[in-house]
Structure 1
Amino acid sequence: MNIGIIGSGNIGSTLARYLTNLGHQVIIANSRGPESLAKIAAETGATPVTVEDAADAKDLVIIAIPEKSITNLPVSILAGSKAVIVDTGNYYPSRDGRNADIEGGLTDSEWVASVLGRPVIKAFNNILSASLASKAVPAGSENRIALSVAGDDEQEKRLVMELIDMIGFEPIDGGPLSESWRQQPGEPAYCQDLDKDALISALQKADLTQRASNLANADEQARPYF
C-alpha cells in the first residue's frame, strides 16, 4: 500500500519502521519539513515528504500528532481523500488546551472526524510507544498484546486490524467510533499491555459516568511529561 504518516514522534516513526519492513511504500511528514527527517528516514526506510504529500497518500493516512495540532492539518486534502484515515491521538487538556466539544461528549476521534469532515478509524492510541516499538510478536504467541480498533466502517476497520496483526499485535474490534472513549486516557483499556481476553474485559469495564474524572486523573499524571 501507499501509506502516509503525519507525525514523526515515537508512534509515527515506529509505525513507519514496521510498515516499511512489511513492504509498504511509506512516506512520512512533520510540521518542521522533510529536511528535518533525514535521521528517521535512515532508521525506518520511509521517504520524507511535506504534510500535504503525506495527507494525499493513496491507501492509508496515519495521523500521529497531538490533538492541539489537528486543526493545522491540510483539511481540504484529507476531506477529499479516498484513503483510510487512522487517528492515533489522545486528548490531554494540559497539553492540548480545553476542547469544549470533547468535554461536551464527543470522543477524541469523533472530534477529529468533525474537523476533517470525514470518517476516521481510531487505533494505536492505547499502547505506550516503548511497548509498540519492542513488544511485537508473531500471531499465536502467548500473552500477545492486544490493540483495540474503533470505527464505523467495517471494511476500513478490518484493514487496520489486519495491519496490526501483521505488525505483531492482537487486533480487537473496539466497536463504533462513539465507543472509542473506552480506549482513551484514564480508562481500564488504556496503555496496560493486555492480552486479548484482558483487553476485551477492560473495554467492557469502562464506566461512562467516570469518563470525565478518569481523564482528569490521567491528565494530571501525564502533566509532567508535556
Structure 2
Amino acid sequence: MSAPNHDGSFSTSSPHSIAIIGAGPVGVALAKRLVKAGHTVCLSNSRGPDTLRQQERETGAKSADVKQAIAEAEIIVLAIPTGNISAFYPILRATSLRPGSILLDACNYYPSRDGRVEELDKGLPDSVWISQNVSVPVVKAFNNIIAANIFTSARTKRSAGRVALPVSADDTAALDIVMALVEDVGFDAYNAGKLADTWRYQPGQPAYCTEPSAEQLPRLLARADRDQGPANRDKAREWIDKLPADFPPDILLRVARLSNGLDKWNVRSWFAATVFAFALLRASMKG
C-alpha cells in the first residue's frame, strides 16, 4: 500500500512529472494539491520563470519557461484563458515532447473575456477544439470547480462531503491516468465519457461549479441543456464581473448549488443567496 502523504491522503498512482501552463488561480491551486500528492510539478507562464518566484514559494513547485516545462512533462496541464490557447499551439508543435505525453485541459471559454471563437460559438466543445490542434491525447478535468476550492474542497478517500469531478477523454489510457490524478488530489473521479460530451460540464451547465457528490454528479450531467448553456454562462459571467474580486468563494458555491436544485432546505444556502443578491444590488447602484 502507498505511504500516506502528510495531509492524510494516499497516492493512487505513480508520481508524475507535471507541467502547468498558467500560474493564475487554477494553476496555483492545482500545483499546491499536486505537490502535496507527491508529484513533481513545474509552473510556467508567458512572462518567464522570473515572474513566478512567489508562486514557487506558495506551491512548492519549480518554475521554468514553457518550452522546458512541456518537454520534461508526462502531463501538461493547460490552465490559461481560452483566448490565449491558440498562441500555445506553435510552442507545443515545436517542442520535442516525452513519449506518451498527455494534455490536460482545465480551461473554460468565456467570450466576454476571451473574445469570440467561431468554432466554440457554433457549439464545438472547447476540449474537442483543442484536440483538433494538437497531436497528443487531450483529457478534460478540473475545469468545473471554483479555482480556490481545488485546494480547500479536497478530501481524503471516503471522507464525508468528498466532491466528485468529471473527467473525459477519447484515449482510454490517458483517461485512466487523469482519473487516478483526480483521486490523488482529493476528489472522486467520474468517467464523463468522450471529449464530445464535455459540453455537459462547461460553464452554464448544472454540473459547473456546484461541487456535487458522486451520487449527485450523474444527475446534474444528465440535466445539461446544450441550447441554454451559453446564455446561462454569459449571464453568470455578467454577475460575477460585478462582484468584488475578494467575494467569498463559499457564497458563490452555495448560490450555484441552490440555483441547480441542491441544498434547497439548507438555511445557509438561502442566506448565501441573500448575500449574493445584496452584493449585486450594491454593485448596480455604484454603476
**TM-score interval, normalised by the smaller of the two chains:** over 0.9
Which residue among 204, 211, 217 is the counterpart of 1:193? 211
Query: CA-atom RMSD, angstroms?
Result: 1.8
Indicate if the aligned counterparts of 1:79 and 1:116 stay in contact, CA closer than 8 A.
no
Which residue among 42, 50, 62 is the counterpart of 1:35? 50
SS across alignment from 2:83: helix
Q: Deviation per CA, 1:167-199: give whole Å up to 9, x if none.
A: 111111111000000010010000011111111
Letter in 2 for 1:75: L
Indicate if the aligned counterparts of 2:179 and 2:190 stay in contact, CA closer than 8 A.
yes
1:92 and 2:121 matched:
no
Q: Deviation per CA, 1:77-110: give whole Å up to 9, x if none.
A: 4696531110100000000001110011210111
CA distance in 2, matches of 1:77, 1:3: 19
Higher relative contact order (CA closer than 8 Å, sequence separation 6+) = 1
1:134 and 2:134 matched:
no
Aligned-pair CA distance for 1:203 = 0.5
Indicate if the aligned counterparts of 1:20 and 1:46 stay in contact, CA closer than 8 A.
yes
Question: Which residue of the partner structure matches residue 121 of structure 2?
Answer: 103
Letter in 1 for 2:58: E
Question: Which residue of the partner structure matches residue 66 of structure 1?
Answer: 81
Question: What are the ranges of 5 or more consecutive residues in structure 2 without an aligned counterpart?
Answer: 1-15, 246-287
CA distance in 1, matches of 2:160, 2:175: 24
CA distance in 1, matches of 2:179, 2:121: 28
Indicate if the aligned counterparts of 1:56 and 1:77 stay in contact, CA closer than 8 A.
no
CA distance in 2, matches of 1:91, 1:224: 19
Question: Which residue of the partner structure matches residue 159 of structure 1?
Answer: 177
Question: Which residue of the partner structure matches residue 169 of structure 1?
Answer: 187
SS across alignment from 2:206: coil
**Structure 1's 79 and 218: CA in aligned 2 closer, same or farther, altered over 3 A?**
farther
CA distance in 1, matches of 2:196, 2:221: 13
CA distance in 1, matches of 2:27, 2:229: 27
Indicate if the aligned counterparts of 2:207 and 2:220 stay in contact, CA closer than 8 A.
yes
Question: Which residue of the partner structure matches residue 51 of structure 1?
Answer: 66
Identity value in percent: 37
Q: TM-score, normalised by structure 1?
A: 0.93
Larger radius of gyration: 2
Question: Which residue of the partner structure matches residue 6 of structure 1?
Answer: 21
